[in-house]
Every structure is written in C-alpha cells, then in structure tokens.
C-alpha cells in the first residue's frame, strides 16, 4: 500500500449549489417564522433557542467533560455512560410526565420510570458482560503466547 | 497571530473578506487557552463520521416532515395529486420521522461534544466571513436543539413553551436544514480530507463511535415499537403502545376531551351534494358494508392497525349525485378543535378502501374512536381520520 488514496474533492459547482440551497432554505424558514399568523411572538422562539444553546454548551457539555476528566476507567464504562445518557434524555421526560393526568389514558400508559431503570440496568449488564469477555479474551491471548 | 490547529488548513486570503484583529493574549483565559481539551476525539475525522450519520437523520426528518405537512395542508395545486396508496405510506413516513428524530438525539450530542473545543477557538473571529460562519453555526445548533426538544415533547403532548408547536417545528426545520447545507458547503474541503478512514485507525475513535451507535440502537429499539409492529414487545419508553386503549387502539383525542361522549339520540348522517339526503344508523347499516385493514397513523409517530367496516365513502358520494372527481368535506360533532372540519381530495374520496366506518375489529365504535361514525382512509394522517362524523359534503 504505497499509494494513499487522494481525498475526493467536491466539485466547486456542487459546493456552490449547496451553499445557495442552504441560503435559500434558511431565508425561507426565517421568512416563514417571522410571518406565520400563528406565531405572534417570534422572539419567544429566539429566547428558547438561545436558552437551549446556553444550557447545552454552558451546562451539559461541561458536565460531560468533567466526568470524562475524572478518567472514567475503560472504554466499555464510557460507552455505557453514553448509552445511559441517551436513554435518559429520551426516557426521562416520559417518566416525569407520566404522573400528570392528561384525560387520555392511552397517552403514556406504561410505568416509564420502572422501564427506564430496567433498560439502564439491562444495558449495564450487557456492558459488564462485554467488558468481562474482552478481558478474558485478552488474558487467554496473552496466555497462549 | 494565534496558532492554527494542525487539522485546520490555513485560511486562504479572500479578496472579498475583511480580516479582523486578534484580541490581546491577556484575554485568552479559561477554556480559551490552548490544550484545555485533551481527548484525541475532538478531531475532524470523528466529526465527519458523526456528521454523516446526523446529516442522514436530519434529512430524513426534514423530508418526511415536509411530506407530512403537505399531506395535512396541501396547497391547491397538489391536493388532487396526492396518492391514496400505498395504504401504509403515512404510517411509514411518519414512523420514520420520529424514529430518525429520536436517533438524532445521541448523534447531535456526540457531534456537538466532538466539536466543542471549536467554541473556544482563538482568535474568536478571524474575519467577517469567519464571524458569519460562526453565527450560522449558532443558528444551526440552536435550531437543531430546539427542533429535537419540541419534537420529542410533542410526542408526549407536553407543551411547556409559549409558541405554537406545529408552525414553529415546521419553520425551524427549514432553518436547521438550510443551516446544515451551509455548514456542509463551508466545511466541504475539510469533509473531503477526512471522508475516508485514516490508517491506522484510532481504537479510541472506534470505541466512541461504537458507543454512539449502541446508543442509537438502544433508544430505537425501546421506542420504535410504537410504529413498527415487530418491535412492539420492546416498546418500553415510547409514549404510546399500540394495543393499549379502547378496542385495542390508542386515542389521540378522547370523546370526553372533544365533548362528544354521548352522541345525540336523533343522530343522522347528512350528505350534501347535487341530491342531498340524510340517513339513520339503521339505514347506513342496511347499505353494502365493506371491510378494510388500515392503520391509524398519528403525526406524533405512533400507529396501530385495525379492521374497520362500514360504508364506502365513494358509495355515499355517488348516492348524492356527486361526480367521481368530487372532493369531500367532513364535519364532526365536536364543538371546536382545529380538525373539526376536514377536506379530503378526490383521490382519497374515491378510493375503495376509504370508509365511513361504523365498526372496528368487529365491535361498534367506542365513543373514543368516533361513535357513531368515523372516516378511515389509506395513507392519511390520523388527525384527518375525522371522528364523530355529522355531515359529509361533496365539493
């Protein structure tokens, strides 16, 4: 393998078209957001978008970086933490909302907190088995040599 | 000048761009200092791999969302061209919309973590063009975060924000997709450079991407069962479980919520057209009854199939002397609600699968499913399957 493949280059025209398309879609979205009859206060949306940015970049990612800096041991534990954070992001709102009586028993009909904890536990066990198997294989391989 | 990241090619001078001065180094504090972020995964290759997955999820969301919007609210030129088949079309596209939206949550999280150090790049802005690019990224990220947040919460029918969901989610979708295209165009050379896997690969990156892939898989298998029948048993976190509800079907709006829990004792179906007429329930049941296996497919992503039986809408319209090209307007008994009056293009109205359903799974419709009569049509969003029908009108 003497020759490394040349990185493919998007032709200039395609890049230009993508940029023009992006500008057009952005302009259309902005125009719609500002002129939609149902949206009476577009600034509310800006506030929530900026609030989301601040919460995500100012609070959530620093926490993730801090956990990472604690030198969480092993790729499997790190991996499970990513899986657990994802499951929590999706499952926790349902668990928090499930207690509210919406007047519709078919909305949020499951025990969501129990299910979330169950899924976290199952993925945790899978991760532990994975780590255990990997360690065993490693030991056996070094043992053979 | 500050150091240029080894992975970032030195910016070309552009005649139309205006260079901005670098702030004094004394201001370079905290995370702005070099070497704050030590992980090797904050690199373009990781960003490119995650960006491809996230881009695919976002484009799927955008296209299926656009389709849903057009089906719900078709512009006049499109209304009569919308196909009523395949019958499960909307179930698939809207199921996919919510599945790819949920999958985008870990993908966006991982992507933003990967590029997080860029938030603190030094100098903060090199030039006017660079400032515009950073502003564009702020719009893209803000729109994406709010889009995924509002979408997820809408599936729970939880609206903690002061703006209307549907319109905001729609327009933010255009902003996010436009921002994505601009971002791809701006980063095209960098994306091209890192498109292929470098050799040797980085074990750390493989582990990280595996974990992100596992996150997508975990969150998909525990929620997709609300629209994918063979995953139903694993539907543990989704806000709906097909099969749970009166007559085995979930409900979007209950009869109590719509104020239609008790149908009027003297209920008759009124059909307006060239030869208007009225029918009692007995007369409706005396007409030829047809069966159709069709899903209720909600815009919130859940869907559930059932066997419906009742009178073909086409038969009712023909009896009123309406031509096959007639559109249909259906009015519900509900006092108000955005979907009280529903317009149906001719392609759906003349489809033999489109019924004025009187029974579901062999039973008389429960009040929550639209007793005394409801519309059920193929390839249509659930909110347009009008319940508690009072009047039909050929247009």
CB contact under 8 A, A93 and B146: no
Same domain, yes or no, for B180 and B309? no
CA B315 to chain A, closest CA, distance in angstroms equals 33
Residue among B143, B182, B251 minimizing CB distance to A49: B143
Residue B335 pLDDT > 80:
yes
Same domain, yes or no, for B80 and B148? yes
Same domain, yes or no, for B146 and B209? yes
Residue B15 pLDDT > 90:
no
State whether residue B89 is helix, strand or coil.
Answer: helix
pLDDT given at position B17:
86
What's the average model confidence in pLDDT over B113-129? 95
pLDDT given at position B11:
55
Mutate to test the interface with A, among B133, B211, B241, B252 (most CBs of A within 10 A): B211
Tokens of B342: 């529903």
From chain A, pick out residues whose CB is under 8 angstroms from the CB of B39.
Answer: 68
Note whether residue B18 is domain-resident: no
Note whether residue B289 is domain-resident: yes
Q: With bands split at pLDDT 50, 70 and 90, how would you rate the model's confidence at B4? A: very low
Same domain, yes or no, for B227 and B254? no
From chain A, pick out residues whose CB is under 8 angstroms from the CB of B207.
Answer: 75, 78-79
Note whether residue B65 is domain-resident: yes
Same domain, yes or no, for B259 and B172? no
Same domain, yes or no, for B144 and B226? yes
Minimum Cα–Cα distance from B138: chain A residue: A53
Same domain, yes or no, for B148 and B280? no
Contact B144, B59 (CB under 8 A): no
pLDDT in tens, A87-115: 999 999 999 999 888 899 999 999 999 99
pLDDT given at position A5:
53
* HEC secondary structure over B132-143: HHHHHHHHHHHH
Report the domain count for chain B: 2
Give the Å distances, CA to CA, from B210 to B59, B125, B162, B290. 22, 34, 38, 50
Q: What is the CATH number of the domain that holds B293?
A: 3.90.420.10
Minimum Cα–Cα distance from A14: chain B residue: B185
Q: Indicate the average pLDDT of chain B.
A: 94
Same domain, yes or no, for B261 and B223? no
Nearest 5 degrees, angle CA B37-CA B41-CA B45? 130
Mutate to test the interface with B, among A30, A45, A91, A129 (most CBs of B within 10 A): A45
From chain B, pick out residues whose CB is under 8 angstroms from the CB of A99.
Answer: none
pLDDT in tens, B246-276: 999 999 999 999 999 998 999 999 999 999 9
pLDDT in tens, B175-223: 999 999 999 999 999 999 999 999 899 999 999 999 999 999 999 999 9
Residue among B139, B164, B208 minimizing CB distance to A39: B164
CA A122 to chain B, closest CA, distance in angstroms equals 11
CA A24 to chain B, closest CA, distance in angstroms equals 7
ipTM exceeding 0.90, yes/no: yes
Spatial separation of the C-alpha atoms in residues A3 and B7, rounded to whole Å:
21
pLDDT in tens, B55-85: 999 999 999 999 999 999 999 999 989 999 9
Spatial separation of the C-alpha atoms in residues B244 and B116, rounded to whole Å:
43
pLDDT in tens, A22-77: 999 999 999 999 999 999 999 999 999 999 999 999 999 999 998 888 877 788 99
Nearest residue to B309 (alpha-carbon basis) of B393, B374, B242, B388: B374
Same domain, yes or no, for B37 and B148? yes
């Amino acid at each position: 393998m003497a020759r490394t493949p040349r990185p493919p280059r998007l032709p200039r025209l395609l890049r230009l078209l993508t940029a023009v398309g992006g500008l057009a879609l952005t302009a259309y979205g902005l125009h719609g957001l500002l002129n939609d009859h149902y949206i009476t206060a577009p600034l509310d949306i800006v506030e929530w978008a900026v609030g989301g940015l601040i919460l995500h970049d100012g609070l959530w990612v620093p926490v993730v970086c801090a956990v990472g800096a604690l030198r969480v041991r092993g790729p499997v534990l790190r991996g499970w933490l990513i899986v657990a954070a994802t499951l929590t992001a999706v499952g926790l709102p349902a668990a928090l909302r499930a207690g509210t009586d919406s007047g519709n028993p078919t909305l949020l009909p499951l025990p969501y907190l129990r299910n979330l904890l169950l899924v976290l536990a199952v993925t945790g066990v899978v991760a532990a088995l994975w780590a255990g198997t990997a360690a065993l294989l490693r030991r056996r391989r070094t043992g053979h040599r | 000048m500050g150091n240029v990241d080894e992975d970032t090619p030195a910016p070309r001078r552009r005649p139309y761009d205006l260079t901005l001065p670098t702030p004094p180094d004394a201001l370079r504090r905290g995370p702005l200092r070099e070497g704050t972020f030590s992980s090797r995964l904050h690199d373009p290759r990781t960003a490119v791999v995650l960006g491809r997955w996230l881009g695919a999820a976002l484009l799927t969301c955008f296209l299926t969302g656009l389709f849903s919007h057009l089906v719900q609210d078709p512009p006049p030129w499109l209304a009569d061209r919308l196909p009523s088949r395949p019958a499960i079309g909307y179930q698939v596209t809207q199921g996919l919309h919510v599945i790819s939206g949920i999958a985008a949550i870990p993908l966006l999280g991982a992507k933003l973590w990967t590029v997080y150090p860029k938030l603190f790049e030094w100098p903060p802005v090199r030039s006017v063009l660079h400032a515009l690019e950073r502003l564009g990224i702020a719009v893209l990220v803000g729109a994406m975060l709010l889009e995924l947040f509002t979408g997820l919460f809408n599936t729970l029918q939880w609206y903690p924000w002061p703006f209307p969901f549907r319109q905001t989610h729609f327009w933010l979708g255009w902003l996010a997709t436009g921002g994505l295209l601009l971002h791809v165009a701006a980063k095209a050379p960098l994306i091209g450079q890192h498109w292929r896997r470098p050799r040797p690969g980085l074990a750390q990156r493989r582990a990280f991407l595996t974990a992100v892939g596992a996150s997508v898989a975990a969150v998909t298998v525990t929620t997709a069962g609300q629209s994918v029948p063979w995953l139903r048993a694993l539907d543990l976190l989704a806000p709906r479980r097909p099969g749970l509800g009166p007559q085995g079907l979930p409900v979007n709006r209950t009869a109590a919520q719509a104020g239609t829990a008790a149908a009027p004792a003297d209920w008759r179906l009124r059909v307006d057209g060239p030869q208007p007429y009225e029918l009692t329930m007995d007369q409706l049941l005396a007409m030829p009854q047809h069966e159709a296996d069709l899903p209720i497919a909600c815009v919130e992503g859940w869907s559930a199939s059932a066997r419906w039986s009742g009178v073909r809408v086409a038969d009712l319209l023909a009896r009123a002397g309406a031509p096959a090209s007639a559109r249909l307007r259906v009015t519900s008994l509900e006092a108000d609600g955005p979907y009280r009056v529903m317009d149906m293009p001719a392609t759906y109205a003349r489809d033999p699968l489109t019924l004025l359903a009187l029974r579901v799974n062999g039973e008389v419709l429960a009040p929550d499913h639209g007793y005394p009569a409801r519309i059920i049509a193929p390839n249509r969003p659930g909110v347009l399957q009008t319940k508690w029908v009072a009047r039909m009108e050929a247009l």
